[in-house]
């Protein structure tokens, strides 16, 4: 798979939202003063009757979305991942998940790659928060094309969805037509020596790692875990049984992230040696996305290093 040109995943969301908005009149969108950052302009301009500017009031936006959903709409709420989770955890819990309202939470600027704004805006714990929530589906696509497809799939999916994507321009390498199915892991590179389970921006880094490992004679299997919940446990167990070693890679804290989730699955079903590429306990800092990914070891080199630790 090759990079067809760098693009931001948030633009994939904007494109997907506009497309599904054209197709389905039930789709409505809400934003908390971040239309440009979320790339929601196309939807807002095309469907002004179905778009609601909520101002800097995320709690109210979540509740309003729940009310729109109860009455049969499919609302997408857009804001930064930190404000879509930590700031409104109780609103998401009661008005959306416990109330089983069909709200789609579009969370941009997730992770460390938000960059220069620093730790106040860099949520590295959002996956942990959202995957703990009953009834929530958690999706973390890897590039522009997959984010666009995931957005459209989220609209068709029944129930609350947390859709996580990012700010920086990153390689766009998956085909525009998928495949994409919520809850179904995607085997991107078959291998037999080690399993790499990657999610979000780390999928590209994992692809690079597979090449480096290949040159060393290590055949790594790469699975794209775009859906964190419901997790495709069977795909993970089958691959772990085959290779006998697993490395996870994610732009998130170790606490409550993909790595711990996979460790739990393996402990119960197929214990094999594993390593995690994720950020250790702590807050981030200002810097360019590339600098920060390197500082915290969220890159191909560290995936390779972790694989080598298992050999």
Partner 1 sequence: MQQAPYSVPDYASQIRRDIIRMVTSATSGHPGGSLSSTDFMTVLYAECLKQTPGQWSRDGRNMDMFFLSIGHISPLFYSLLARMGYFPVSELATFRKLGSRLQGHPSVENGLPGIHVASGSLGQGLSVACGAALSKQIDGDNHKVYVLLGDGESEEGQVWEAAMFAAHHKINNLIAMTDWNRQQIDGPVEKIGGVGDLCAKWKAFGWHVITCDGHHYDEIRQAYAKANEPQEGPVMILMHTNMGQGVDFMFDSHKWHGKAPSAEQEKQALAQLKETIGDY
**Which residues of the shown chain bind partner 1 in the complex (CB under 8 A)?**
28, 49-50, 52, 54-55, 57, 59-73, 75, 90-91, 93-95, 98-101
Comparing CB distances to partner 1, the nearer of 101 and 302 is 101
Query: Please, what is the minimum distance in Å from the beta carbon of residue 27 to partner 1?
Result: 11
Q: Please confirm, yes or no, whether 58 is among the known catalytic residues.
A: yes
What b/e string do you get for 62-86 counting C-beta neighbours within 10 Å, with b at 16 or more? bbbbbebbeeebbbbbbbbbbbbbe
Comparing CB distances to partner 1, the nearer of 34 and 279 is 34
Comparing CB distances to partner 1, the nearer of 67 and 273 is 67
d(C-alpha 185, C-alpha 39), whole Å: 27
Query: Please, what is the minimum distance in Å from the beta carbon of residue 26 to partner 1?
Result: 10
Query: Please, what is the minimum distance in Å from the beta carbon of residue 90 to partner 1?
Result: 5
Query: Quick check: 157 and 23 in contact, CB under 8 A?
Result: no
Query: Quick check: 186 and 155 in contact, CB under 8 A?
Result: no
β pairing state of 7-8 and 169-170: antiparallel
Query: Please, what is the minimum distance in Å from the beta carbon of residue 109 to partner 1?
Result: 21
Comparing CB distances to partner 1, the nearer of 37 and 99 is 99
Question: Which of the following is catalytic: 19, 45, 58, 208?
Answer: 58
Locate the DSSP E strands across the chain: 7-8, 27-31, 51-53, 74-80, 104-108, 137-139, 161-164, 169-170, 186-189, 194-198, 220-224, 227-229, 246-253, 274-279
Q: Which residues are catalytic?
A: 58
């Amino acid at each position: 798979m090759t990079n067809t040109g760098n693009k931001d995943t948030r633009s994939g969301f904007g494109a997907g939202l506009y497309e599904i908005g054209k197709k389905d009149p039930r789709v409505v969108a809400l934003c908390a003063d971040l239309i440009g950052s979320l790339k929601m302009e196309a939807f807002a301009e095309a469907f002004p009757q179905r778009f609601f500017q909520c101002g800097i009031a995320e709690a109210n936006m979540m509740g309003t979305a729940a009310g729109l959903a109860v009455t049969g709409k499919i609302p997408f709420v857009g804001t930064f991942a930190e404000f879509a989770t930590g700031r409104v955890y109780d609103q998401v819990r009661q008005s959306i998940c416990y109330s089983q309202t069909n709200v789609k939470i579009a969370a941009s600027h997730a992770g460390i790659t938000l960059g220069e704004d620093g730790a106040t805006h860099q949520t590295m714990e959002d996956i942990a928060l959202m995957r703990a929530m009953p009834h929530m589906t958690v999706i973390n696509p890897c590039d522009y094309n997959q984010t666009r497809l995931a957005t459209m799939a989220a609209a068709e999916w029944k129930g609350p969805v947390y859709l996580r994507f990012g700010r920086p321009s990153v390689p766009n390498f998956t085909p525009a037509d998928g495949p994409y199915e919520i809850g179904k892991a995607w085997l991107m590179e078959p291998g037999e020596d080690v399993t790499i389970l990657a999610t979000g921006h780390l999928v590209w880094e994992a692809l690079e790692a597979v090449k480096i490992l290949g040159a060393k004679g290590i055949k790594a299997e790469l699975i794209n875990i775009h859906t964190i919940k419901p997790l495709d446990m069977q795909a993970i167990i089958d691959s772990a049984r085959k290779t006998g070693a697993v490395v996870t890679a994610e732009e998130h804290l170790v606490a409550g992230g993909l790595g711990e989730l996979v460790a739990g699955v393996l402990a119960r079903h197929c214990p094999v040696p594993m390593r995690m590429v994720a950020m250790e306990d702590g807050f981030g800092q200002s810097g360019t996305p590339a600098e920060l990914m390197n500082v915290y070891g969220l890159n191909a080199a560290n995936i390779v290093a972790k694989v080598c630790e298992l050999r």
